Amino acid sequence: MHPATAKWYDRRDYVFIEFCVEDSKDVEVNFEKSKFGFSCLGGTDHVKHSNEIDLFEAIDQNESKHRRTDRSVLCCLRKAESGKAWPRLTKEKAKLNWLSVDFNNWKDWEDDSDEENFDRFSEMMNSMGGEDELPDLDVADDMSADEQMQVCKKG
């Protein structure tokens, strides 16, 4: 049994963990208040993966969800206390060799004033017209962070 490689990132209301297991089968996700478990069979050789995490803070296990794709399993953990930043995923400061930060989706959301200013600037630029449009800033492998948020918000 091997831990699955995973990437994570923090948002105001959710913490996202993406387990990078291609062709996963028999996916089991266990959401508990302060613990999270993941297991599956992965790849053509059906390697058994298992991860257990003592979480940094509590989650709302009833509002947490997961979604499987051919390339990964995305888990959306609803924070019990919204608006509180998680500096790490785990309760302990130990470095886990299978876990890394997803810098493509990481966003320093604690200072929303910059985001609001950018949104106002973007609206102003778009209202001016012209041929050049502002690029989409959310870049992810399969889904943008906004699309991932929509997955979490849907029932």
Q: What residues contact 58, with CB distance under 8 A and at least 6 apart? A: 33, 34, 79, 80, 81
Nearest to 51 by CA among 18, 93, 84: 18
Predicted pLDDT at 107? 79
* Residue 23 token pair: 């062709």
- In which residue are the tokens 């995973």 written? 6
Nearest to 16 by CA among 113, 111, 115, 151: 151
Predicted pLDDT at 43? 86
Q: Are 118 and 135 in contact (CB under 8 A)?
A: no
Question: pLDDT tens for residues 105-151?
Answer: 887 766 655 555 455 555 655 555 444 444 444 434 455 666 665 55
Domain boundaries, the chain: 6-82
Q: 6-82, what's its fold? A: Immunoglobulin-like (2.60.40)
Tell how strand 14-19 and strand 25-31 pair up: unpaired
- In which residue are the tokens 């029932």 written? 155
Predicted pLDDT at 137? 40
Predicted pLDDT at 130? 45
pLDDT grade for 99, boundaries at 50, 70 and 90 = very high
Q: 3-state class of 127 per DSSP? A: helix
Q: Are 137 and 146 in contact (CB under 8 A)?
A: no
Give the separation between CA 108 and CA 129, rounded to whole angstroms: 30
Above 70 in pLDDT, residue 94?
yes
Average pLDDT of the residues in 88-116: 81
Predicted pLDDT at 141? 47
The whole model's pTM is what? Answer: 0.72
* Residue 75 token pair: 């888990």
Question: pLDDT tens for residues 16-56?
Answer: 999 999 999 999 999 999 999 999 999 888 999 999 999 99
Give the separation between CA 75 and CA 8, rounded to whole angstroms: 9
Instruction: Determine which of 68-72, 75-79, 149-153 has the lowest per-residue pLDDT on average.
Output: 149-153
Residue 19's Cβ-count burial label (10 Å; 0-12, 13-18, 19+) is buried
Average pLDDT of the residues in 69-74: 94
pLDDT grade for 3, boundaries at 50, 70 and 90 = very high
Average pLDDT of the residues in 52-62: 96
